[in-house]
Chains A and B, each alone.
Chain A
């Protein structure tokens, strides 16, 4: 398979599997796990197919630009480090899928489980195969999200939800910090391409931003890899099903931070700052995790803290900035993945077969579940670092490396602390095996029901334990070339020569190792006493601390919101207007220059002055009579009419036509709404408040009016309109420049606008269609008619007149529509005119009569209008022109003469349909509500009359 295709397939496979599983989620467990296993196995086969080439030194890469502006390429790369991690992710993934198939009951939501698991696998693969650090961040966030789904899989359990939330908060928060660090890294290096960054270590370490960048990236890694003080999320993530824990905490999620440290080792490591921070954090985590693990009773709790400790070990090794330490880290990553996954699965088996995970209730299980006992004991021995297992070799190497590192100038600090931590590791590993499988059973009930599971469940851990054993017996044959080549990739150079073996002769490391085993065994022997001492001590509860911190943050944010954003429209509007007025005033006062410009004014005719006076009077009347609501509507329509006249006067016939028809529709709308709203409500605002608002209003009026005046008395600054005038006829094929602008020059704007209008229409439907339910429905049913009505519901003259009018108006509408390209008119105006004709039918003949005769619904009109407009625009793409390019031609039609046909006309049809649909939607819905209320009222009146009659 070609390299690019192979890499893409590798990353896409898990996501594809997740999608398929999600689609088939109603099918059985076998399909889900089968798909997941197939996806993992296929990926693993691909990895194995290229393993030889990659270990041999080939770096396979592929890249396509994604968002080139910010340097984000979709580039994938596979080098030995990526290969090893991809192999772990897919290999352990496959084993976990097999284990999970038998672990989960068939009535669980296995579709959701395996889909999330595959999603997570894809995200992890993305991290380790990304060739661009920004792309890596995308996958990094995706692991946080998908692990949230996995940890919270049993969503009916509070601890699962809390654990998932905590993991998301910590790792997701760390991810945000990491983004900042990575962006800094890319900025310093001048590229976001991983290969380029790795070559520019010198530039990066010389940058003054290096310390900031380093700390940010380290926080990202430490949160993900559960390093102190961010470790507390990991034990709580144990609320996840055991297969998830086995996957997340052995080879994947928590290794992502370690991976990133290893990946960026050539550019980050080597400085004093790096060594001190990473080594000490790793050391503290290793010691603390091992100490706590010794005293946990929950099997998974022990494993959780042992994981924290082992991760600390890895981080510490990478922190040494020594090449051999990096080699040891690589080897230990392999070892840890093998024995830890096996241990988690064993814990799952014990839980599954005995019904408890509390080590204090178990014991002597070796007799009843011998296979599990062998598997888990060997894995625990590997974790303890006992020969002849793989864990022994890497622990030996680790101890040897500590001798070369002095922290804070103290040469014995690291070796001594590391030996203590190793001692504790021996103790908790031995305790796990001994207390669980040997000695006498502590409680009869779990012991009585315990037995070995079917082969399906123990096969996976057994396979891993065989690997862990072989890693100790034949390390060079099994892992030598891989470790050597991966270490080379981490270091960025050829790795130092490697001699993995159990026996290196008598040296200091061996002595430390022996001491660790001896003292560890001693600790286990005296465990009961130690436990009493441990429990007598006071311990910081990280979860309570976390909850308190979150609670405090929540309270403070609430306070801030209340202080800045009170839930009062009046206050918010006042603040907004006040700020705008202040800005205008500030600009006017500090901008300099004069208010009045040099452009000569045009004398106003007497008619104009009278119209102006009417407008002023009507506005004042609207404000003064605001509580007599029907009266206000009349004043409002006066204003609308005068504005229409102004448009006529100032050479804007299209605007005048639009304004007058919108005016009619708006007044109808307000009338219909007012029918149900209070007509003359009492005064609400206090007098000082009214004065305050009036003051602000006058300020605003002066500001905006002044701005208008300043603008009108100056000449325009080289407007672009001349282009529209020059090209309207020759380019757009129409003489009405306004219409050509709408459907051609700026058709994209118009498209957006009709979509907005369509959305408004649909939103109105959504708001009104559900009014009959709940509190609104109850109010509507008890609505009392509070207006005198004509006794004749449908006056005959009115009905007849509107019915005769309808075809006439339709003809006018078509005329206005067709001539729109050359004369005032067009889709907008025609739609409004036609809408008014139909609304008149609703008014005159009632909702039911009209609605029953309606052929096409408003939804259909809006949708088809938008689609027609879009299709017209897309049509031009077919001819190789830009989106929404119009085309036109003149055709000779017999009898009619020359006729122009333009694609813009099609676009205008779309506009027509949307505007018509949206207007009808708003008004027809509203009138239906009114009708419903009126009918309810009539029924009440009737009921009362019947009730009053004896």
Chain B
């Protein structure tokens, strides 16, 4: 297994761990952080492929993902704050008002 293959494996594993965290953890903030982990996994894969092909496009996408992540957090944290203010809990199962 060469270096780049290893990094791609790591990126897949990180993405999977992040998604697993979103699925299994009950804490809203932890879920948010797991999403960040997913983004990091994607970033790693992009950087690896950019290295492999020698083009800058992957790096550009990484840069854009940074911006998206920042924007996401900027909106998500206030929402979480409001949710907690309403129900005094970070437990996601409490927020099922839109249940069909």
Do A and B pair up? The answer is no
